[in-house]
Amino acid sequence: MTNNETDNANLNFENRIPLEDLQTAISNIKAELAKVIIGQNSFIELLIASLLVDGHVLIEGVPGVAKTITAKLFAKTLKTNFNRIQFTPDLMPSDILGTSIFSAKTSEFEYKKGPIFSNIVLIDEINRAPAKTQAALFETMEERQITMDGTTYQMDSPFMVLATQNPIEQEGTYALPEAQLDRFLFKIKVSYPSPEEEVQIIQSHHARKSKNPEALVDHSITPEQLIDFKEKIQDIIVEEKIMKYIAEIITKTRNHPHLYLGGSPRASIATLNVSKAFAAMNGRDFVIPEDIKKALVPVLNHRIILTPEREMEGMTTESVVAMIIESVEIPR
């Protein structure tokens, strides 16, 4: 038997969890987005993984790299409600959460819900709003509920926040504290397209002839399907040696000489959950080390901080994560 035949034989396993419907739905989402979005394959995969594990996503990139349009079209592929909130320096918590308004008919105060009450919420330029407005949003993200005038209102499921921020033009912005950043599952850095992708973007825009991109994208998944997919992901098999592999990598971030701040246990749990989603997306009912490696950079991007010396040298969090991965033995 040749090496290729051996590899193929090893890949011919039978899943204990039926994942065909999940894979079909993911393929449909990607196909719908491909009608408008050129490239950004990793970005889209991370959005899908985050959706499958109830995570929120922070998207960072310079203006014009399709952060907002990708998030909007991604929401369109889901048969759910969608709201977009533009953060500004004068935005108040009540502008997001809602407020109590006196009703002349009932002579009582009635709670008018804010735009955060939706399924997929796009926050544009999250670092433009002051700290108290950011804090109100993060409480909702963590607890998935809002308490107003002594009454608790639960957020509908699914509930996912996609927040964008611009890494330049920091005048008049309010940096997100580390404790609040930790509420996001991922920080996705969106870069410029390649020259070939840029040509395709221009050609695609020309061919659409000013048609609304949102009109080209159809629903691909229902909330009921999503609930079923999430349950399947919870059943993905994770061996103990894989869990130890995650723990060893995250622990090394806490005492690495190039890092001022390492990952918390929340980073370990996030890595585990995302790895299970990646396994399911690839048609496997068990996690392998490659799933862990794929999850680590977006999970740790906003959770680890370089020492000032290394930051001045131009080192990045991605390069440190790569160094740590190389230093940890892969479980067999």
97-115 pLDDT tens trace: 998 887 778 778 888 999 9
**CATH 1.10.8.80 intervals, the chain:** 236-332
Per-residue pLDDT, 171: 66
Pick the CATH number of 236-332 from 1.10.10.60, 3.30.360.10, 1.10.8.80, 3.10.150.10: 1.10.8.80
pLDDT, tens digit (0-9, with 9 covering 90-100), for 251-278: 999 999 999 999 999 999 999 999 999 9
Decide which of 233 and 207 is more confident.
Answer: 233
Mean per-residue pLDDT over the chain, rounded? 88
Q: Which single residue is written with the structure tokens 């009454």?
A: 151
Separation of alpha carbons 67 and 116, rounded Å: 20
Per-residue pLDDT, 257: 93
Task: Give yes or no for a contact between 303 and 181, defined as CB atoms under 8 angstroms apart.
Answer: yes
Task: Give yes or no for a contact between 44 and 38, defined as CB atoms under 8 angstroms apart.
Answer: no
Question: Which of 1-10, 171-180, 226-235, 294-303 is the least confident region?
Answer: 1-10
Nearest CA among 204, 100, 118 for reference residue 160: 118
Decide which of 105 and 122 is more confident.
Answer: 122
**Is it the case that residue 5 has pLDDT exceeding 70?**
no
CATH 3.40.50.300 applies to domain 16-220:
yes
pLDDT, tens digit (0-9, with 9 covering 90-100), for 189-200: 988 888 998 998
**Is it the case that residue 237 has pLDDT exceeding 50?**
yes
Per-residue pLDDT, 31: 92
**CATH 3.40.50.300 intervals, the chain:** 16-220
**Is it the case that residue 2 has pLDDT exceeding 80?**
no
pLDDT, tens digit (0-9, with 9 covering 90-100), for 295-305: 999 999 999 99
Separation of alpha carbons 61 and 66, rounded Å: 9
Q: How confident is the model at residue 12 (pLDDT cuts 50, 70, 90)?
A: low
DSSP string, 50-103: HHHTT--EEEE--TTSSHHHHHHHHHHTBSS-EEEEE--TT--HHHHHEEEEEE
Torsional sign, CA 47, 50, 54, 56:
negative
Task: Give yes or no for a contact between 85 and 116, defined as CB atoms under 8 angstroms apart.
Answer: yes
Per-residue pLDDT, 8: 42
